[in-house]
Each structure stands twice: as C-alpha cells, then as structure tokens.
C-alpha cells in the first residue's frame, strides 16, 4: 500500500517539476542567447521588432511587440515550450507530451499529445488531441482540446477554463 502512495505522489509532483525545469531553461535562455541544452532539438527566438516570424523544427512562432524570447526544446518524447506573449504552432507529432511555461501565449497544438502540462497565466491553448492527461498549474488559462478523454488536473484553480470542443 505504501508503494502506491509513493507512486501517486511522484505522479502528482511530475507536472510541477516539469514546469520548474521549463521555467529554469527559459530563464537561462533569456539571460544568454547562446545557451542550449546538450541533447535534443532547440529553437530559440529573441526579437525586437514590430513583427517577426521564425520556423524551426516542430514550432512556428509569430511575435509582435518590443522584446520577445521563446524556447522550444524537444527531449525524447517531450516537447518543452516557454515564452511570453507569443502566438505559435507546436506539433505534438504522434504521442509526445507537451510542457508549456509562460504567460499570455496563444498556442495551436497539432498532432496527438500524450499529455499537456501548463504553468503560467493567461495562456490560450487549442489542441487537436490529448490522450492521457491535462495538468494546469497557473491562473486564467484557457485550454481547449478537440479529441480524447484525458484526465484533468486543474491545480491552478477555478480561473482556468479546460474544455472539450470549440
């Protein structure tokens, strides 16, 4: 019985740890434009202009405003996306997990996500399919998924909107 409690606790802690890792990675990239992880694929964009569009790997980002930094790191079967105030398309492919950290982002997520973890505030995320779980650790996020029957973990509270359909 005790083993099950440890597994459940670890399972609940995993989304928080994922968001912490993304936030740390985002902070490092924001401090140094030359920072990059040792493995996987990385896309980092820092812009200061009225409109910029960059495409790299599985993420397409469109930014507008003063200064925007975004990072997309794919490690194994997990895509980690961190940004502030961007509009982007992220591809989960066929069964990758997606971790999102940041605020005021508008993301369109294509493909089939195994799971979604969101940390931050005022993000709007529209997904094709989520298989297993949606975990939201933040406030005022709007998550809409079209297909799947995922477990919903709304740790952030009642200001988050998580729904199926358009």
129-145 pLDDT per residue, tens: 999 999 999 999 999 99
- 3-state class (DSSP) for residue 3: helix
Domain parsing of the chain, residue ranges: 71-155
CA 112 from centre of chain = 14
What is the number of residues in the chain?
Answer: 166
What percentage of the chain carries pLDDT values higher than 90?
A: 52
- Give the bridge partners for 163, in sequence order: 144
* Cβ(142)–Cβ(124) below 8 Å: yes
Where does residue 43 rank: exposed (0-12), middle (13-18), buried (19+ CB within 10 A)? buried
More confident residue, 48 or 62: 62
Beta-carbon contacts of 50 under 8 Å, excluding residues fewer than 6 positions away, are 64
Q: Is the pTM of this model over 0.75?
A: no
- Give the bridge partners for 112, in sequence order: 94, 129
Tokens representing 71? 């990072």
pLDDT value at 115 more than 80 = yes
49-95 pLDDT per residue, tens: 333 343 334 555 444 555 567 888 888 999 999 999 999 999 999 99
Beta-carbon contacts of 60 under 8 Å, excluding residues fewer than 6 positions away, are 53, 54, 88, 89
């Amino acid at each position: 019985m005790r083993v099950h409690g440890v597994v459940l606790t670890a399972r609940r802690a995993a989304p928080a740890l994922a968001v912490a890792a993304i936030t740390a990675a985002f902070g490092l990239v924001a401090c140094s434009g030359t920072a990059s992880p040792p493995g996987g694929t990385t896309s980092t964009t820092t812009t200061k202009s009225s409109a910029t569009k960059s495409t790299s790997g599985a993420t397409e980002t469109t930014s507008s405003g003063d200064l925007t930094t975004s990072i997309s790191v794919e490690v194994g079967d997990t895509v980690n996306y961190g940004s502030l105030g961007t509009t982007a398309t992220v591809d989960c492919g066929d069964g990758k997990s997606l971790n999102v950290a940041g605020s005021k982002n508008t993301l369109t997520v294509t493909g089939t996500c195994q799971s979604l973890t969101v940390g931050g505030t005022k993000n709007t995320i529209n997904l094709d399919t989520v298989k297993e779980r949606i975990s939201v650790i933040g406030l005022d996020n709007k998550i809409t998924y079209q297909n799947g029957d995922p477990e919903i973990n709304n740790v952030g509270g009642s200001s988050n909107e998580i729904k199926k359909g358009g």
